[in-house]
Amino acid sequence: MTNDVYTYTFKKAQLQKAGKKVFMVGLLLLGGLYSTRLCAQVNVSGKSGLIYIPTAEVQDDRTFSAGYIYNPINYAIKFNKRNSESIYFVNLVVLPRFEVNVNLLRPNGTIPFMEGGIGDRQLDLKYVFLTEKAKRPSVAVILSAPFGVDNSLLTHAVIATKHLPVAKSITAIVTVGLGSPYSVGRRTNTNDILSDFALEDKRDLPYHYLTGPFGGVNINFASKGGVMVEWDSQHLNVGAYALLFKHWTVQAGLLNGDQLTMSTSYSLNVFQLPKRIRKHGKA
């Protein structure tokens, strides 16, 4: 074998080896696209929930969700009776039973110049401190970080959720909870996010979100869709959702028998290899 042929063969083998590594990294990053079906209907702030209320359901470790919610003008959280709202969110299960949610609320249409800007940014933490057993529900606490100024989707609540089989492929998911009417937030928009905190009463806001007892029922059909009814501490809402292609959820709700809300979200399990690859690695 000549030196040229040997060099060519060696380089080809190295390129093939490098190509396999790149392929495996790609599978690690995109493997969630082939993972098992994920239950991902979300509430108005992007957390696991019904329409407005959150639930205490436990998502799989490393589940990542992102989506968009349209909130109508009569039930707008911050711009109540003035502008409808667009709410964008991302959610990640960073540790077992511990979720981090980031959402951004923006008005639709024109608003006064002084109210402009990026929008309401909010960070929420959820921890499920009791998992569901045969005779007990899962129980979770949700707390909004107090670093924002004049945020409107603030959530300080304790929630319990229980799955109750109704038929072979039908499950009733029952949720009850209690939201605090009080929150801690910053009074002024300064560069120092660790100063000027104050106790606030959310009932002074135009729409006091989750300020009292709430609850609802989600009737799930074979993990492919379902219908919902809830009391959000102020109004009775109904809705329906469907899971498409195992990861994409579309949802719509009727708030207080009056106006429609809609949302869409996509959920996947990040850094999880497809089952066929995992089996091959164990062989």
CA 39 to chain centre: 11
In degrees and rounded to multiples of 5, residue 27 shows phi and psi of -65, -40
User: How confident is the model at residue 281, as a pLDDT?
Assistant: 44
Residue of 266 and 279 predicted with greater confidence: 266
pLDDT in tens, 150-168: 677 889 999 999 999 999 8
In the DSSP assignment, the letter for residue 59 is P
Q: What residues does each domain of the chain span?
A: 35-282
In degrees and rounded to multiples of 5, residue 281 shows phi and psi of -70, -25
- Beta carbons within 10 angstroms of residue 68's beta carbon: 14
pTM for the model: 0.78
Fold of 35-282: Porin (2.40.160)
pLDDT above 90 covers what percent of the chain? Answer: 54
Q: What would the two tokens of residue 222 be? A: 């074979």
